[in-house]
Structure 1
Amino acid sequence: MLHRVEGIVIRSMDYGEGNAIITLCTENAGKVGVLVRGAKKVKSRHAALIQLFTVGEFVFFRNNGGLGTLNSGEITKSHHPLREDLIKAAYASYACELLDRVLHDEETGSFWFRQLTACLNALEEDKEPGVIINVFEMKILQAAGYGPEFDSCVICGAEKPDDQLLVSPRLGGALCRSCKHNDPPAMEVSARALKLLRLFARLDLTRLGNVDVKESSRDELKKIMRAFMDVQLGLKLKSQSFLDQLDKYKI
């Protein structure tokens, strides 16, 4: 059966002699794997279609599910500025790998197509990459069923002043100091960072404007969100390791 979808390339891998298999996050067909024959050969008309972050219209044959075979495609947005910038490419790769690893085929759809589109566009537009990715991570946690609770203590349910709250990645949200014994390693959090975490939990990436976040708050948010991702999802992502290297050497 012939399928026509709008999709974003979130994974691309070599396959056999000159071929490639791409994974698409599509608007209406979930995640789709497509074999692109001859894509790696010199002067292939499909070479540009297999590049990460490429947005386009893909036409492919697929019978009874499984892997499709590309018939034709047309690029609507190449996102080449993302691939040409080391920092942007690293964050964009992380967003794509995260979505690919966490969400099953049936869980992706128009919402995630819009979220990833907004994420890639924001990165290309030079918005703060750390903030963009933190919001994206929050959406992923929520979709996976691990959305943190920051409005009240996750143990006793009390709504305490911000200066009396900690955050517990293990317990999944805010923790009042009276309940700290339930998780002694709970993390200190500033009032500013806590407000931003609540904002991220409610924010849709398609509505993300220019969020002005101080460097100290960005560092704090990065540390907290990394802890939530590690504890709740426990993934080992190649793109995350690369981001860690960039951070280590302050690139």
Structure 2
Amino acid sequence: MLYRVQGIVIRSMDYGEGNKIITLCTENGSKVGVLVRGAKKPKSRHAALTQPFTHGEYVFFRNSGLGTLNSGEIIQSHHSLREDIVKAAYSSYACELLDRVLQDEETGGFWFRQLQACLEALENDKDPQVIINLYEMKILQSAGYGPQLDACISCGREELDEEARISPRLGGILCRYCKHHDPPALKVDARTLKLLRLFVRLDLQRLGNVTVSEATRSEIKHIMRQFMDMQLGLHLKSLHFLDQLDRYNLQ
């Protein structure tokens, strides 16, 4: 059967002497693998369609399993993301995270739209740490692990004070009377909690220019890392590289 879809390349790997296999996150939210014959050859007309982060229209034959590319057209190459080491690192993490979370036959355009918005925001020089933390929140929510931050996850109390704690293990905030349920739960600054609540409500497509203090950025990064580790438990190569960039102050 012949398919025509819009998709973003979230993974690209060599296959054989001259071919590549790409994984697309498609406009309906599904994930599909496509074989691109001859993509590694110097004069290949399809080579550009296999580059990571490329948004394009792909026409391929598929009966079951892997498809075979027939033709395609680039809509947005996102070449600047591949040319900048920091942007490439964040973009790779966004793609690998989605690749690991999204099931092959899962549908729903939300996944595609959030990835598209994430890559466009990175290309437009918005704060990459804020972008990726908001993207992580959307991934958690879409996967069914969105944190509860407006009321105590244990008793439902909405009146929270400075003694409230965030529990990545339990998936939300604990009031002063329930914080004993998770002693390692994290302290959180009021400004950080306010921004995290905004992340829960905000669609990445509507993200404007956000100015965040270094202290708040650092705290949000730590809290979101804890949520991702506790709730999803993924070990991603791209995240390890981001940590190396941070360690050597290359961001």
Q: CA RMSD in A?
A: 1.1
Question: Secondary structure of 2:43's partner?
Answer: coil
- Could you tell me whether the CA contact under 8 Å between 1:152 and 1:174 is conserved in 2? yes
Task: Give the match for residue 84 of structure 1.
Answer: 83
Task: Give the match for residue 211 of structure 2.
Answer: 212
Alignment of 1:53-64 (within 5 A): 53-63=53-63
- Could you tell me whether the CA contact under 8 Å between 1:25 and 1:108 is conserved in 2? no
Alignment of 1:1-251 (within 5 A): 1-28=1-28, 30-63=30-63, 65-251=64-250
Instruction: Give, as a single letter, the amino acid of the residue that structure 2 aligns with 1:36.
Output: V
Instruction: Give, as a single letter, the amino acid of the residue that structure 1 aligns with 2:38.
Output: G
Q: Structure 1 residue runs of 4+, over 2 Å off?
A: 105-109
Q: CA deviation at 1:177?
A: 2.2
What number of residue pairs does the alignment pair up? 250
CA 1:71–1:155: 2 relative to 1, 3 Å: same
| The 10-residue stretch of structure 1 (25-34 or 178-187) with the greater mean CA deviation from structure 2 | 25-34
Q: CA deviation at 1:108?
A: 4.1
- Could you tell me whether the CA contact under 8 Å between 2:165 and 2:176 is conserved in 1? yes
**What TM-score do the two structures reach when normalised by structure 2?**
0.97
Instruction: Give, as a single letter, the amino acid of the residue that structure 1 aligns with 2:211.
Output: D
In the aligned structure 1, how far is the partner of 2:43 from the partner of 2:218? 44
Q: CA deviation at 1:164?
A: 2.8
- Could you tell me whether the CA contact under 8 Å between 1:5 and 1:26 is conserved in 2? yes
- Could you tell me whether the CA contact under 8 Å between 1:26 and 1:109 is conserved in 2? no
**Cα deviation per residue 1:123-142 (whole Å; 9 max; x = unaligned)?**
00000011111111011111
Question: Secondary structure of 1:231's partner?
Answer: helix
- Could you tell me whether the CA contact under 8 Å between 1:25 and 1:109 is conserved in 2? no
Question: Secondary structure of 2:56's partner?
Answer: strand
In the aligned structure 2, how far is the partner of 1:94 from the partner of 1:29? 18
In the aligned structure 2, how far is the partner of 1:28 from the partner of 1:2? 16
**What TM-score do the two structures reach when normalised by structure 1?**
0.97
**Cα deviation per residue 1:27-64 (whole Å; 9 max; x = unaligned)?**
1361111000010112211111110000111110011x
CA 1:29–1:221: 2 relative to 1, 3 Å: closer
- Could you tell me whether the CA contact under 8 Å between 1:90 and 1:243 is conserved in 2? yes
